């Protein structure tokens, strides 16, 4: 068992803790990517088109000999629509050539053991500084990963106190980076409620449901319990690995997270 340094909310050392066996999982980026893609598909909304859209028109071809293309044309005469191409793709008011179909299979299943291996590999990758910095996170030189904090962080109730705590942990530059990536969109995205894009910063993993933790007002920072943590949280966009902060309670609960390989490792020991 390897040990990790426990940091207090004031940034000072507060002892050490034994890391669970999940942190010994090999780094498997291909498994993390597959698990992310399959789990992300569970949130997709089915979309499709009315099968007869663009075809509900009285149109027929006029055949050859008229010096015009043999497209189906709206029947009638004496009004603008008469004689116009209709009922086919590529014409004005025509149908879509290959529209989305609501019966398309978009829910991708994932094997339970494969899902567990991807989760365990993502958790173990949070202890690798090269992967965290390679994703774009900015850390102070004295930050030791995995970043384990005392349970006092679960009781921080004010946003300014939490910002001071995160700054004391050495990730003030990363908070500034996430805030600087705040971009205001225009056009369709803005009309549909996605007016702003916020960068991704630290993920705080706690042992209990820390509802008092002031987290929503800090751009890019999220909080999850150890029981509900997912690859979607640890590797946004399937790009390993996100800067993660664990409380001591979370580390204790992660002892229950195991892949099949961990059971074999325990038997050998």
Domains of the chain: 3-44+107-268 (3.40.1370.10), 47-105 (no CATH)
Q: Which two tokens stand for residue 129?
A: 């500084």
Q: Are 226 and 207 in contact (CB under 8 A)?
A: yes
Q: Round to whole Å and give the CA distance between 46 and 66.
A: 45
* Residue that has been written with the tokens 């369709």 in this structure: 188
Residues 6+ positions from 263 with CB-CB distance below 8 Å: none
For every one of its 269 residues, what pLDDT tens digit does the chain have, with 9 covering 90 and above?
688 999 999 989 888 999 999 999 999 999 999 999 999 999 999 999 998 999 999 999 999 999 999 999 999 989 999 999 999 999 999 999 999 998 999 999 999 999 999 999 999 999 999 999 999 999 999 999 999 999 999 888 888 899 999 999 999 999 999 988 777 888 999 999 888 888 899 999 998 776 657 677 788 999 999 999 999 999 999 999 999 999 999 999 999 988 777 766 766 66
CA-nearest of 157, 255, 252, 159 to 206 is 252
Q: Report strand pairing: 3-7 vs 147-149.
A: parallel
Q: Are 208 and 228 in contact (CB under 8 A)?
A: no
Q: pTM to 2 decimals?
A: 0.84
Q: Round to whole Å and give the CA distance between 92 and 157.
A: 59
Q: Report strand pairing: 196-197 vs 13-18.
A: unpaired
At residue 4, the 3 state secondary structure works out as strand
* Residue that has been written with the tokens 């989760």 in this structure: 119
DSSP 175-232: HHHHHHT-EE--THHHHTT--EE-----EEEESS--TTS--TTSTT-EEEETTT--HH
Instruction: Tell me how many degrees the CA angle 135-141-145 measures, rounded to the nearest 5.
Output: 60
């Amino acid at each position: 068992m390897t040990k990790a340094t426990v940091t207090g909310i004031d940034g000072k050392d507060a002892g050490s803790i034994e890391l669970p066996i999940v942190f010994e999982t090999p780094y498997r980026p291909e498994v993390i990517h597959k698990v992310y893609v399959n789990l992300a598909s569970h949130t997709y909304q089915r979309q499709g088109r009315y099968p007869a859209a663009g075809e509900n028109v009285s149109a027929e071809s006029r055949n050859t000999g008229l010096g015009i293309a043999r497209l189906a044309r709206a029947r009638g005469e004496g009004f603008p629509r008469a004689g116009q191409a209709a009922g086919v793709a590529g014409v004005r008011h025509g149908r879509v050539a290959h529209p989305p179909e609501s019966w398309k299979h978009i829910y991708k299943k994932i094997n339970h053991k494969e899902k567990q291996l991807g989760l365990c590999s993502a958790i173990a990758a949070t202890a690798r500084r090269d992967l965290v910095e390679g994703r774009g996170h900015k850390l102070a030189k004295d930050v030791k990963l995995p970043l384990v904090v005392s349970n006092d962080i679960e009781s921080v109730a004010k946003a300014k106190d939490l910002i001071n705590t995160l700054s004391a942990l050495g990730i003030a530059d990363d908070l500034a980076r996430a805030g600087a990536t705040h971009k205001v969109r225009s056009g369709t995205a803005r009309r549909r409620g996605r007016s702003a894009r916020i960068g991704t910063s630290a993920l705080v993993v706690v042992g209990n449901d820390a509802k008092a933790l002031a987290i929503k007002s800090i751009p890019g920072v999220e909080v999850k319990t150890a029981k509900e943590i997912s690859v979607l949280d640890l590797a946004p966009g399937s790009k390993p690995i996100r800067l993660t902060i664990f409380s001591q309670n979370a580390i204790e609960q992660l002892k229950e997270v195991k892949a099949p390989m961990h059971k074999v490792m325990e038997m050998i020991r």
